[in-house]
Amino acid sequence: EAGVAQSPRYKIIEKRQSVAFWCNPISGHATLYWYQQILGQGPKLLIQFQNNGVVDDSQLPKDRFSAERLKGVDSTLKIQPAKLEDSAVYLCASSQEASPLHFGNGTRLTVT
């Protein structure tokens, strides 16, 4: 089966600019997650979708981050405006019920 697809792989922007990441989960996986991994730390959940509804966004900085999952398939994560501390790898993952998460290769964001 095809894995979780993410694009772009790398992005460099200046602070205060905006950026968007795209994720296509494994076919049939109802649950989609966005994680942020800062260098030297473990991944941290930003938002979890079940189909196209939000299950958990308690750790999403809503003043600058937004995410949507239209039609319960693809998802986009947006940052506007970006800050230096947003430099990280943004990982998308998907899962079926009660199965381990499958991660994409991530988007490495550098904010200068």
What is the identity of the amino acid at 88? A
Tell me if 45 contacts other proteins by CB under 8 A: yes
Among 1, 2, 27, 42, binds other proteins (CB under 8 A): 42
Least CB distance from residue 68 to other proteins, whole Å?
18
- 107, 23 in Cβ contact below 8 A? no
Tell me if 25 contacts other proteins by CB under 8 A: no
Stretch of residues binding other proteins (CB under 8 A), selected from 14-22, 61-69, 71-79, 88-96? 88-96
User: Residue 48 and residue 62: Cα distance in Å, rounded?
Assistant: 14
Tell me if 103 contacts other proteins by CB under 8 A: yes
Angle 47-63-109 (CA atoms, 0-180°, nearest 5)? 65
Tell me if 98 contacts other proteins by CB under 8 A: yes
Residue (88 or 106) nearer to other proteins, CB: 106
Tell me if 31 contacts other proteins by CB under 8 A: yes
Adjacent-strand bridge partners of 36: 44, 90
- Cis status, amide bond into 8, omega within 30 of 0: yes
- 104, 92 in Cβ contact below 8 A? yes
Binding site for other proteins (CB under 8 A): 4, 31, 33, 40-45, 48, 55-56, 91, 93, 95, 97-98, 100-106
